[in-house]
Amino acid sequence: MKTLFIGLLKFYRFAISPWLGNRCRFHPSCSAYAIEAIEKHGIIRGFRLAVWRVMRCHPWNDGGHDPVP
Amino acid sequence: MQMDFKRLILAVVFAFSIILLWERWVQHNTPAAVPETAQSAAAADSSIPAPMASTEPGTTVPAGTAATLSAYAEAPRVTVRTDMMEAVVSAVGGDLIHVELTHHKDSEDHSKNFVVLQESGKHQYIANTGLLGAEGLPTHKTILEPEQTGYVLKDGENSLVVRLKAPASAGIEVTKLLTFYRGSYVVDVAYEINNTSDKPLNATAYFQLARDGQPAEHTKGFFGGVSTFTGPAFFTQEGKFQKVEFKKIENNETSFVKSAKDGWVAMVQHYFVSAWLPNGDVQREFYTHKISNDFYGAGVKLPVQVAAGAKQSIDVPLYVGPQEQDKLAKLATGFNKVVDYGLVTIFAEPLFWVLNMIHKIVGNWGWSIILVTILIKALFFPLSAASYKSMAKMKTLMPRMKALQERYKDDKMKLNQAMMELYKTEKVNPMGGCLPILVQMPVFIALYWVLLSVVEMRQAPWMFWITDLSVKDPYFILPLIMGATMFIQTKLNPTPPDPMQAKVMMIMPIMFTFMFLWFPSGLVLYWVVNNILSIAQQWYVTRMIERGEAKAAR
């Protein structure tokens, strides 16, 4: 399950992300953050962290360096 | 790691090709399959539903003597022609066994009408009715006596009535009436019951749609896999819109609201629908059943009470026609829901509303698609506007960024990190963020479903060679333009550092072009416009950044 999620995220980073361009306001980028979060905290907590991160990644947020806790 | 990626990409490419091949193969094989309709001559006739629970018990369900569909071939027929349809009513049950729509043409042969109901041919699909509950009441198998053999709606007339008399039985006279209207896809189907006996009559009237389980017209879906729903559907206030798959009827696993004081039953297919739309606040029962091999029925039962010596009639409108949404919504509550958008309904309905409004002004669906695509892009523009503004501020930071680039020449990660910190402290950021793109996705997916689902696109022209937005581009010009725009997009984006990834980026436009070759041209048109707008937007952004850099360098 964990491998599947990370596999999907890696596929996104590999094949889809280049099409959308570099658009994340944070470092590490949302997808890299999601992979790290799931690896570190497991699917449920990692997924929640990743969703929260994507929700914050919009033009009215300052962005910046925001590593996985 | 590298190996993993290679495998993953190869797997995905293979999966796409297999799905596409499989779908082509399925499409190639299905139309020829004519389902077997011969019924078992068992005593219990599965084509006739049981009476409503509320009616008196002890009524015998007439046994089937011959296969329903073959009985139609031998019985007399009544032909009906109006300005909207050409219909055939069989003497068997007074059933509607053929309806073709004069304003909608066949998918392949445009000189022929589109056929919805048909007792033989590509599909077996009929609308039949009957009465249950007492000896001698006509079911959908009873041979009725038509008054005339042909009807034509004449100029100046607004409706015509087809009358069929049921065989005389002790104390009860029944006449079936089918009323056709000018400019309408509605046929009012009624029973006039004259109870001349001295006992009250407690009967059940059933109105059903019977169809084979094969999907109607095949439609290309996204990545080849998705097609629209074919099958029965019910609507009640309690259950709202509920679709029932033929497979569920076959396996006896149906679940929908079966008893209500409102609602209707429909048989849905891509672009077209037929439905029984009972009026008023009357208790009704909905049902589905398997009639014979690959032949299913879905219908509604209504109670009919006729006092001794009284006359009574029961009337249920039948709709057989295209899913034109403004017409459907007026006929019955929730009837517009038969246009099936799947999961994205919430976005798709307002999108179609806008599309329809624009169409009313410009009068061409092709141009309407283009305008809606531009409109959506414009609507989301403020999301990127914020980043354009900060880009203007960026130029003041250029010297400090240059310095950072010098310092972290060999460590890209450190550089990124430091740049992000700089953006944050100076409150600028050239990136739009991940959320805006995530918000836009469902809207574009919804537009995709609208273009795929609405009958208004069927045989609607755009300009030049595009004469039907719902089928493939006959010369494949739009898909090739689409491929070209995608190729330009790869050139605009920075080449990924990984050579394997770079290769995949180059293969993607070719794959997509191949996939889009057989897509409805309306969809490809939307994709082309969307790509061109994206390219323009990106080009504008890049130019802004370059200008900023140039000024900073001076």
Task: Write down the ipTM of this complex.
Answer: 0.80
Q: Are the C-beta atoms of B290 and B159 separated by less than 8 Å?
A: no
pLDDT at B396 over 70: no
Predicted confidence band at B291 (pLDDT cuts at 50, 70, 90)? confident
Its domain, for residue A19, covers 1-65
A3 touches chain B (CB under 8 A): no
**Cβ count near B56 (within 10 Å):** 12
> In degrees, to the nearest 5, what angle opens at C-alpha B395 toward C-alphas B390 and B398?
120
Find the mean pLDDT for residues B417-437.
73
Residue B17 has a pLDDT of 58
Helix (H), strand (E) counts: chain B: 13, 19
Question: Bridge partners of B311?
Answer: B194
With pLDDT > 70 as the criterion, what percentage of chain B qualifies? 78
Residue B190 has a pLDDT of 92
The number of domains in chain A is 1
| Nearest residue, CB atoms, B424 vs list A29, A55, A62 | A62
pLDDT digits over B443-480, tens only? 777 877 887 778 877 777 787 887 777 777 778 888 88
Distance CA A12, CA B27 (A): 31
Residue of B nearest to A8 (CA): B8
* Coil, helix or strand at residue B256: coil
Residue B44 C-beta-side C-alpha neighbours within 13 Å? 6
Residues 237-296 of B with CB under 8 A from A: none
- Name the average pLDDT for chain B: 77
Q: Which residue has the higher pLDDT, B348 or B466?
A: B348
pLDDT at A62 over 80: no
Residue B146 has a pLDDT of 87
Q: Which residue has the higher pLDDT, B218 or B130?
A: B130
pLDDT digits over B97-137, tens only? 999 998 888 877 778 888 888 888 888 888 988 888 877 88
Distance CA A23, CA B384 (A): 10
Q: Which residue has the higher pLDDT, B260 or B390?
A: B260
**Which of B26-35, B74-83, B128-137, B261-270 has the weakest average pLDDT?**
B26-35
pLDDT at B189 over 90: yes
Beta-carbon contacts of residue B480 (< 8 Å; ≥ 6 apart): B513
CA distance A10 to chain B (A): 8
Find the mean pLDDT for residues B76-82.
90
Q: Which two tokens stand for residue B372?
A: 């809606």
| Interface touch A59/B424, C-beta < 8 Å | no
Q: Which residue has the higher pLDDT, A33 or B66?
A: A33
Residues 16-45 of A with CB under 8 A from B: 18-27, 29-30
pLDDT at B430 over 70: no
B386 touches chain A (CB under 8 A): yes
Task: For helices B381-394 and B434-453, give the axis angle rounded to 10 degrees.
Answer: 150
Long-range contacts, stretch A2-8, CB < 8 angstroms, 24+ apart:
A2/A38, A2/A39, A2/A42, A2/A43, A5/A38, A5/A43, A5/A47, A6/A35, A6/A38, A6/A39, A7/B8
Start-to-end C-alpha separation, chain B: 44
Residue B316 has a pLDDT of 92
- Name the average pLDDT for chain A: 82
Residue B297 has a pLDDT of 87
Residue B49 has a pLDDT of 64
pLDDT at A8 over 80: yes
Q: Which residue has the higher pLDDT, B217 or B138?
A: B138
Question: Which residue, B537, B539, B416, is CA-closest to A25?
Answer: B416
Listing DSSP states for A31-56 in one string gives: HHHHHHHHHHHHHHHHHHHHHHHHHH
Task: For helices B434-453 and B345-362, give the axis angle rounded to 10 degrees.
Answer: 60
Indicate the residue type of B356.
N
Q: Which chain B positions have a beta carbon within 8 Å of A64's beta carbon?
A: 420-421, 423-424
Find the mean pLDDT for residues B422-443.
73
Q: Which chain A positions have a beta carbon within 8 Å of B419's beta carbon?
A: 27
pLDDT at B52 over 90: no
B253: buried, middle or exposed (CB in 10 Å: 19+, 13-18, 0-12)?
A: exposed
Q: Which chain A positions have a beta carbon within 8 Å of B4's beta carbon?
A: 10
pLDDT digits over B498-541, tens only? 677 677 777 778 877 877 777 778 888 888 888 888 888 777 76
